[in-house]
A = this chain, B = another copy of it.
Amino acid sequence: MSRQRVFTADKLREECGVFGISGNEDAAAHTALGLHALQHRGQEAAGIVSFDGRLFHSHRALGLVGDHFSNEAVIGALPGHAAIGHVRYSTAGAPLLRNVQPLFADFAFGGLALGHNGNLTNALVLRRQLVEQGCLFQSTSDTEVIIHLIARSRQPTVIERLIDALSQVQGAYALVALSADALYGVRDPLGIRPLVIGELDGAPILASETCALDIMGARFVRDVEPGEVVSATLSGIESIKPFAMPPRRFCIFEYVYFARPDSAVEGQSVYEVRKRIGAELAREAPAPADIVIPVPDSGVPAAIGYAQAANLPFELGLIRNHYVGRTFIEPSDRIRHLGVRLKHNANRSTVAGRRVVLVDDSIVRGTTSTKIVAMVRNAGATEVHMRVASPPTIHSCFYGVDTPERSQLLAAQNNLEAMARIIGVDSLGFLSLDGMYRAVGGAPRDAFQPQYCDACFSGDYPTLLEDFGHGGSADQLSLMLEER
């Protein structure tokens, strides 16, 4: 018997979401709610650290926020008016509790908790130097490098130490941090990962997306700017921009898949952008079909946009089973296509005898698409025209997204015709990179200085990749210790 990972098995996976609040007497409960709204950004572990004016309190657990942070005992053990929280995927191997964030350390100046969305691209190089100097690492997380850099900084204040540490790292980071004195939020100079500021009855909030504000009825204030360090203390919010300021490069894939459709990031409604992507796709890649059906749920907004632009009926041709967990037994070959069937079923009455446009947000390995197309055909569709609401994904991401090896990316290994054959469709169409920029709504792509990070489509990485350039890899970060 073998196990089959079924949940978002064939998607790129955002690795983290962060949340912080200060000046609210139910800080941990609100943080749990915010993390629940950000659950789509990381489903393997969650953690909250609160500060009660004297002590920090921490609870971290493998699993969903609702599994561990929805009962009174846990929330009651996280007292205080300020808290930060984190949801995460683990990048590799068994998820380990010691890697779950927020990380916490006792410094000479007191305690500091830190939650990080993104990924550093020189963590390995820095880690080697720090170990040489006598630093002891507890985790394999790149975030711990920041902790040690803060500990060894000779700067006098917490914020200056934080800036000192961050000035040494490369890569993507949206951070929330909590000290005895302040709640901090930072985005890297390129602004690759999102971070927004909100406010609830006077209490400042930081969150990866606006949906975490909506869940508690908080007001959206503004995005944290790229390279901005925000600190919220009793005397209000202060902002400084201590780093060099290159042009911004927000991750365009946040619009394609990562962010929730009801969020607005970098000033744009994700749902509306996705509908425009679908409309653009209908113009670029029309199809001779009777109905438009989405791969639920991520393909729905683009499919609605496609259907409206193409003036075709939008129908639920695939039904999703919402009770699906991560794994299920596949007892033998006698049970075929189990993985995808646990999550989806074709709606025979809708697709039988019809020519179908099947809309998905992206194609990674193509394995799920292949199974879904077969399922739709078995249910009687006469033609299947697949339309993908993003350009072909052909490069790895080093900024906090879990991408397969290039050898596993369908579009990195095959041309359009070969892909259509593998997936089994009558026709296949991707959105162009320019169409993508049009849908996002600003200027056409500037090839010398693209306005977004679109490296997964273009291979144009906006930062140095020190850890990855010389044959090194993050695997070398693993501890020598296997702990049960």
Is A147 touching B136 in the complex (CB atoms < 8 A)?
A: yes
Q: When the two chains form the complex, which single residue of B55, B136, B262 contacts A105, counting CB atoms closer than 8 Å?
A: B136
Write the A326-353 contact mask toward B (1 if CB under 8 angstroms, else 0).
0111011011111001100111111000
Q: Is residue A56 within 8 Å, beta carbon to beta carbon, of the partner chain?
A: yes
| Contact of A323 with B26 at beta-carbon distance under 8 Å, contacts A58-B483, A106-B481, A136-B105 already known | no
Stretch at the interface among A191-199, A314-322, A357-365, A396-404: A314-322
| Contact of A58 with B481 at beta-carbon distance under 8 Å, contacts A152-B134, A335-B26, A346-B214 already known | yes
Contacts of A334 in B (CB 8 A): 24-26, 201
| Contact of A346 with B56 at beta-carbon distance under 8 Å, contacts A43-B323, A131-B106, A335-B26 already known | no
Q: Is residue A151 within 8 Å, beta carbon to beta carbon, of the partner chain?
A: yes
Give A352 to B22 CA distance when docked, in angstroms: 30
Give A260 to B67 CA distance when docked, in angstroms: 26
Is B329 touching A481 in the complex (CB atoms < 8 A)?
A: no
Q: Count the A residues whose beta carbon is within 8 Å of the partner chain — how many?
A: 102
Q: Is residue A135 within 8 Å, beta carbon to beta carbon, of the partner chain?
A: yes
User: How near does chain B come to A48, taking the closest CB pair, in angstroms?
Assistant: 10
Q: Is residue A354 within 8 Å, beta carbon to beta carbon, of the partner chain?
A: no
Contacts of A49 in B (CB 8 A): 481
Give A271 to B483 CA distance when docked, in angstroms: 39
Is B319 touching A262 in the complex (CB atoms < 8 A)?
A: yes
Stretch at the interface among A68-76, A406-414, A415-423, A438-446: A68-76
Is A110 touching B480 in the complex (CB atoms < 8 A)?
A: yes
Main secondary structure of the interface of A (DSSP, over half): mixed
Contacts of A350 in B (CB 8 A): 269, 271-272
Q: Is residue A40 within 8 Å, beta carbon to beta carbon, of the partner chain?
A: yes
Contacts of A329 in B (CB 8 A): 29, 32, 70-72, 75
User: How near does chain B come to A64, taking the closest CB pair, in angstroms?
Assistant: 6
| Contact of A136 with B151 at beta-carbon distance under 8 Å, contacts A29-B329, A321-B39 already known | yes
Is A319 touching B260 in the complex (CB atoms < 8 A)?
A: yes
Give A219 to B263 CA distance when docked, in angstroms: 42
Contacts of A347 in B (CB 8 A): 261-262, 269, 271
Write the A131-164 contact mask toward B (1 if CB under 8 angstroms, else 0).
1101111100000000110011100000000000
Stretch at the interface among A296-304, A383-391, A427-435: A296-304
Q: When the two chains form the complex, which single residue of B36, B136, B316, B341 contacts A342, counting CB atoms closer than 8 Å?
A: B36
| Contact of A325 with B55 at beta-carbon distance under 8 Å, contacts A75-B331, A316-B300, A346-B214 already known | no
Q: When the two chains form the complex, which single residue of B67, B106, B332 contacts A479, counting CB atoms closer than 8 Å?
A: B106
Give A30 to B336 CA distance when docked, in angstroms: 12
| Contact of A348 with B316 at beta-carbon distance under 8 Å, contacts A136-B105, A152-B134, A329-B75 already known | no
* Complex interface residues of chain A between 183 and 234 (CB less than 8 A to chain B): 201, 211, 214-217
User: How near does chain B come to A88, taking the closest CB pair, in angstroms?
Assistant: 14
Is A482 touching B55 in the complex (CB atoms < 8 A)?
A: yes
Q: When the two chains form the complex, which single residue of B40, B43, B262, B332 contacts A346, counting CB atoms closer than 8 Å?
A: B262
User: How near does chain B come to A274, taking the closest CB pair, in angstroms?
Assistant: 10
Give A353 to B313 CA distance when docked, in angstroms: 25
Can you list 6 A-B pairs, Cβ within 8 angstroms, ordered by A?
A56-B481, A71-B327, A134-B148, A261-B316, A261-B347, A272-B350
Closest CB pairs A-B (n = 4): A269-B349, A66-B325, A134-B152, A262-B319
Q: Interface of A with B (CB < 8 Å)?
A: 1, 24-26, 29-30, 32-33, 36-37, 39-40, 43, 49, 55-60, 64-67, 70-72, 74-75, 77, 104-108, 110-111, 131-132, 134-138, 147-148, 151-153, 201, 211, 214-217, 260-262, 264, 269, 271-272, 297, 300-301, 304, 308, 313-316, 319-325, 327-329, 331-332, 334-338, 341-342, 345-350, 479-484
Supplied contacts A36-B328, A66-B324, A271-B347, 10 more A-B pairs, CB within 8 Å: A33-B328, A39-B321, A106-B136, A108-B134, A134-B148, A138-B138, A214-B348, A261-B316, A261-B319, A261-B347
